[in-house]
Amino acid sequence: MGGAGGRAGFYVGLGLALASSAFIGGSFILKKKGLLRLCRRGRARAGQGGHAYLQEWLWWAGLLCMGAGEAANFAAYAFAPATLVTPLGALSVLVSAVLSSTFLNEQLNVHGKIGCILSILGSTVMVIHAPQEEEVSSLESMAEKLKDPGFIVFAVCVLVSSLLLIFVAGPRYGQSNVLVYVLVCSAIGSLSVSCVKGLGIALKELFSGKPVLKEPLGWVLLVCLVICISVQINYLNKALDIFNTSVVTPIYYVLFTTAVMMCSAILFKEWQHMVLDNIIGTISGFLTIVSGIFLLHVFRDMPFTPDLLPLFLQQGRADLHASWRSADRHQSCQHQPLLPSEDKGSQSAEEEEEEEGESM
């Protein structure tokens, strides 16, 4: 990203990605609140194929919020590489986790807080070591990349696996396994990012005065993007309606980021010219994010108590507690000469009163 233009694009993409994470993280909460209100009213649930959420204003507010986040994300992909923008989606996990604990009464224990911190640290490392993508400055060069055999194989695998998940695994395991619907959203989402990159290039050419509207590729990418987003919204609603928000959001982030990194590496050859330290940094940052998401997801319902500590730490805690008690006892013994004299004085006064009462 050398040069003033590269640095400017980096900061523009970074700012748009941060705004996108804030909007998307808040949209999960609004949509979940809308789905919960419908459930309390006894309406047909989205997880059972119902579409009553279309009549709930909270759900529409969440959709608009997600639309704003996706628009910011759209612009961010036009200015910066996908491997730079996508990891910043970890911040949407943090926003969603904090807001869900506040507005949905979903507990965020110490493991979840550590997981959020690890996600942020991992995202920072990935941003520092973000790879350079091959320059794609026109729709013609984008069309050449879309014809690459590696990308064609990847796209066919994504479509076939998504169809199997929707029509085979969905009816059997969709109600009990969170991965089914989230995998559909993530796989289709990787293709939507490619469409976004292509449309971003088309908009740049349009603003520069080129006759982009006559190019069929731009319209094909727009239609594919609408289809991909529609599929993502539908199956993300199913996952949110059935499972906890703090479960869906981090798993969706990990799978979506993995799919986008694979798609970008194949389509834009982002990893082809990377040096070893950037490769190690990118992989390490991503594994740090996955570790944080793992903590946030696996231990979400486990309260942190001293009984969970290892035995040697519990023994040390017991010894420390015993030393504190002995110190308190020693400190109270230092003040003991004053207290017994007061107690004895009051006790002798009471005895004298009792004797006087008996003599009378």
Alpha-carbon torsion (87, 24, 190, 292), positive or negative = positive
Q: Is 268 helix (H, G, I), strand (E, B) or coil?
A: coil
Q: Quote the pLDDT of residue 184.
A: 93
Q: Quote the pLDDT of residue 298.
A: 67
Give the 3-state secondary structure percentages of the chain, helix then strand then coil, rounded to 5. Answer: 80, 0, 20
Question: Which amino acid does the sequence have at 123?
Answer: S
What is d(CA 93, CA 203) in angstroms, rounded to the nearest whole number? 30
What is d(CA 253, CA 244) in angstroms, rounded to the nearest whole number? 15
Among 74, 58, 52, 56, which residue's Cα sits nearest to residue 26?
58
Q: How confident is the model at residue 181 (pLDDT cuts 50, 70, 90)?
A: very high
Q: Quote the pLDDT of residue 342.
A: 47
What is d(CA 138, CA 52) in angstroms, rounded to the nearest whole number? 43
What is d(CA 132, CA 142) in angstroms, rounded to the nearest whole number? 16
Average the pLDDT over 84-89 and give the result.
Answer: 74
What is d(CA 95, CA 314) in angstroms, rounded to the nearest whole number? 34
What is d(CA 99, CA 120) in angstroms, rounded to the nearest whole number? 16
Average the pLDDT over 112-120 and give the result.
Answer: 81
337 pLDDT above the threshold of 80: no
- Transcribe 228-244 into DSSP letters: HHHHHHHHHHHHHHHS-
Q: How confident is the model at residue 27 (pLDDT cuts 50, 70, 90)?
A: confident
Q: Which of 58-67, 119-128, 232-241 has the highest mean pLDDT?
A: 232-241
Asked whether 70 and 20 are in contact (CB, 8 A), the reply is yes
pTM of the predicted model, to two decimals? 0.65
Among 60, 64, 200, which residue's Cα sits nearest to residue 133?
200
**Helix 245-267 crosses helix 3-40 at what angle (to 10 degrees)?**
150
Q: Is 2 helix (H, G, I), strand (E, B) or coil?
A: coil
Q: Is 251 helix (H, G, I), strand (E, B) or coil?
A: helix
347 pLDDT above the threshold of 60: no
Asked whether 280 and 320 are in contact (CB, 8 A), the reply is no
Average the pLDDT over 151-156 and give the result.
Answer: 93
DSSP class of residue 52 equals: G
Q: Which of 1-15, 44-58, 162-176 has the highest mean pLDDT?
A: 162-176
157 pLDDT above the threshold of 80: yes
For residue range 238-289, what is the model confidence (pLDDT) as tens digits? 888 888 776 787 788 778 888 888 888 888 776 776 778 888 888 888 888 8
